[in-house]
Structure formats: structure tokens, C-alpha cells
Amino acid sequence: MKAFVLERYGHKRVLQPTDVPVPALRDDEVLVEVHAAGVNQLDAKLRDGAFKLVIPYRLPITLGHDVAGVVFRVGPRVTRFKVGDEVYARLDDFRIGAFAEYAPVKEASLAHKPLHLSMEQAASLPLVALTAWQAFVEKARLKAGEKVLIEAGSGGVGTIAIQLAKHLGAIVATTTSAGNAALVRDLGADVIIDYRSQDVADVLHDYDVVLHSQDTPSLLKSLGVLRPGGRLVSISGPPDLEFGRLVAAPLIVRGVMRLMSAGVRRKARQAGVDYAFLFMRAEGSQLREITSVVDAGIIRPVVDRVFPFEATNEALAHVDSGRTRGKVVIKVR
């Protein structure tokens, strides 16, 4: 099969189109004929080597975390899916490979595709929708009537997080550029901050939750937005000690994580704020709940651009630009 393979880590390194064997299927896995694959910042960061100490992949490796397609084959222990089912998933760590014609997926990580979405729309959802779900439902336990700040509301995670937070009954503020204000307002944002002309710490106060996805200066400003007892959930770091334990990082790497997050954890304690780092995981049961919300018309995908399979490197470069509205998708079939 054809796949786009990372041979060596490197900043903006080009993936190589390669003929590779179809992956061997494990007993609890489904082999998916890939029709579309979502492209994420996570793919770019893995390519650049940002996580090589924490998630030590053996190279060469096919990249890609988001997949939508049709079940081609099932393992002997699979009971929920059959050949011909239309499905989607965020692939598991150490089992990624959506930038290919076929991809194996654990049954526990897979869900049936939302009925009225195209393959490209479905492929845009798993990673960002699961990120928003795990941030708000698991980590922050967001409640109706609470106020939440979502950074970068026009991005892949932001466009879904706004809609999910509104569904949960929250009052939503978001940062974006003036050119994207209409988009985030249409998605449900109540308060819109133009990050180019406004300082979020001057505008917002006594918020309950912040979903942080940007740089360290914005992370520290978030502390001033939150009330005492508020919750700061970061998907861009720094990683905390709980994350080190979850990924079973070596002790020396956990020590580095402790040092990296020491400053923000100290400032959070001083402000009376709970800090948590989220590195989202594949979870089919949550994806099924997301499917029901999508099928009900409550959440809709926002797709910035669809690239052909042969333009996979161009799709990654477009994500690298940082100027996408919603998600970038590769059409494989």
C-alpha cells in the first residue's frame, strides 16, 4: 500500500511517499480502508521531534492520527464492527498511520461515522472533538452557567470546543482575529477578544475554566482571567507530573517535566487555580457520544481545506502556517 513515511525527525521534514506492507492485524483490531485523514498540529510536532523523549517511536513510521473510512477486515475478537461499516477514529499512540491506504485501529478506539457527514468531515473530528470532550467533561467538569475562555477559537480544537461548551450550558469567550470573529460568533461564542488589539487579561475576569492552547505568555495571562478555584487545562504544555506517570516516562524525563512545569504550577497555586495538562487519548466510547451529538446537529465540523493524498506534505505545511480555520484534511480515496 502507499503511505507517507517519516524517515528521520527534523523541523518541517518532508514525508516520503513509500510502498509499505499492509499492517498486520491484531485480534482486537479492525483494518480500515482509509478514505480521509485529518491533519493535526500533533502530526507536525511529532515530525519535528517534539515528543521523541516522551513518545519514543521507532522510525521510519507512517504519520497521521485521524482516520475515516470503511471496515476492510476484522480481527477474531472484534464484535462491534463488520466489513463494510463506515467508521472513524483517533488512532492509538504507537499505532498511528492514517496517512496511508489502510490503517489498523483497536476496536475500543473506533466508532461508526456520523450518518450525515462526508468522509472528509468525519476525518476532521476525532482528535479535536476528543480533546474538547476530555478537557471539559473529564478534566474541568464544566457545568451549565460557568464561564469558559477558549483560546484560538477559529482553530481545529477551538471550533469544536466552542460548540461543545455551549452544548454543556457554558458562557463562552474566545480569542481570535477580527477576520474570524463572524465564524466563532456563528459557532456560539458569547464574548470575542481580538488578540491583536485586546489583552485578554484586561477584558475577562472571574472565569471558571480556561482551555489553553497557545504559548507560555498567554498561559500566564490565563491565571489572571480565572477566579480562585478556577481550572486551567492546557493542551500545549508544559506537561505535568500526572502526564509523566500516564505515559510511563523514564524517571529522568519525569524530572525534566517537573522542572518545565514548576513555574506555572507555583503561580497557579499562588492564584488558587488548578492546573492540568491534557494529552488526549483515543477513546471509542467517548467518540460514540460525540457521534450522537453530531448526528443531533449540535456540533458540526469546520473544514478549512481538503488536499489530495499525493499532497500530504502540502497539507502539513498548511497546518504549519498557523492560519487554518478549523481542520485540514487529506482525501485518500
130-186 confidence digits (pLDDT tens): 999 999 999 999 999 999 999 999 999 999 999 999 999 999 999 999 999 999 999
Residues 249 and 312 in one domain: no
Instruction: Report yes or no on 292 lying in a domain.
Output: no
Rounded Cα distance between 9 and 221, Å, is 33
> Which of these ranges, 12-26, 152-166, 255-269, has the smallest mean pLDDT?
255-269
Please, are residues 87 and 98 in contact by the beta-carbon 8 Å criterion? Answer: no
Q: Is residue 225 part of a domain?
A: yes
DSSP alpha helix (H) spans, 49-144: 119-123, 126-133
Instruction: Please give the residue that has the higher pLDDT: either 248 or 133.
Output: 133
Per-residue pLDDT at 60: 96
The CATH number linked to 191 is 3.40.50.720
For residues 132 and 273, membership in a common domain is answered with yes
151 and 46, same structural domain? no
- pTM, whole model, 2 decimals? 0.95
| Span 270-288, average pLDDT | 95
pLDDT for 244 beyond 80: no
Say if CB 156 and CB 236 are below 8 A apart.
no
Looking at the domain assignment, is residue 296 inside a domain?
no
Cis ω before 238 (30° cut-off from 0): yes
102: CATH: 3.90.180.10
User: Does residue 240 register a pLDDT over 80?
Assistant: no
The owner of cell 471539559 is 136
Full domain range(s) for residue 269: 128-277
Task: Check pLDDT > 90 for residue 218.
Answer: no
Domain presence at residue 291? no
Per DSSP, the three-state class of 76 is: coil
Report whether pLDDT(193) > 90.
yes
Same domain, 138 and 121: no
Residue 324 in grid coordinates: 487554518
Query: CA 175, CA 153: separation in Å to the nearest integer?
Result: 6
Query: How far is the C-alpha of 278 from the C-alpha of 261, rounded, in Å?
Result: 13
Using omega within 30 degrees of 0 as the cis cutoff, is the peptide bond preceding 114 cis? Answer: no
Percentage with pLDDT > 90 across the chain: 85
The mean of the pLDDT values for the chain is 94
Please state at what angle helix 41-48 crosses helix 312-320, rounded to 10 degrees. Answer: 100
DSSP-assigned beta bridge partners for residue 16? 5
Three cell numbers at 313? 506534505
Number of domains observed in the structure of the chain: 2
In a domain, 289, yes or no: no
Q: What pLDDT, on a 0 to 100 scale, did the predictor assign at position 247? A: 66
Q: pLDDT band at 250, cuts 50/70/90?
A: confident
Residue-level pLDDT at 156:
97
Amino acid at 229: G
**Model confidence band, residue 88 (pLDDT cutoffs 50, 70, 90):** very high
> Residue written as cell 500500500?
1
- Residue finishing a domain among 277, 293, 322: 277
Q: What is the mean pLDDT of residues 71-88?
A: 98
DSSP 80: S
Residue 329 to residue 88: CA distance in whole angstroms? 13
Q: Is residue 293 part of a domain?
A: no
- Could you give the 3-state DSSP secondary structure of residue 158? helix
Helix (H) or strand (E) holding 222: helix 216-225
Do 152 and 202 lie in one domain? The reply is yes
In the 8-state DSSP scheme, what is residue 290?
H
Q: Are residues 114 and 149 in the same domain?
A: no
Residue type at 98 in one-letter notation:
A
Residue 142, domain member (yes or no):
yes
| Per-residue pLDDT at 84 | 98
Separation CA 238–CA 263 (nearest Å): 10
Residues 107 and 137 in one domain: no
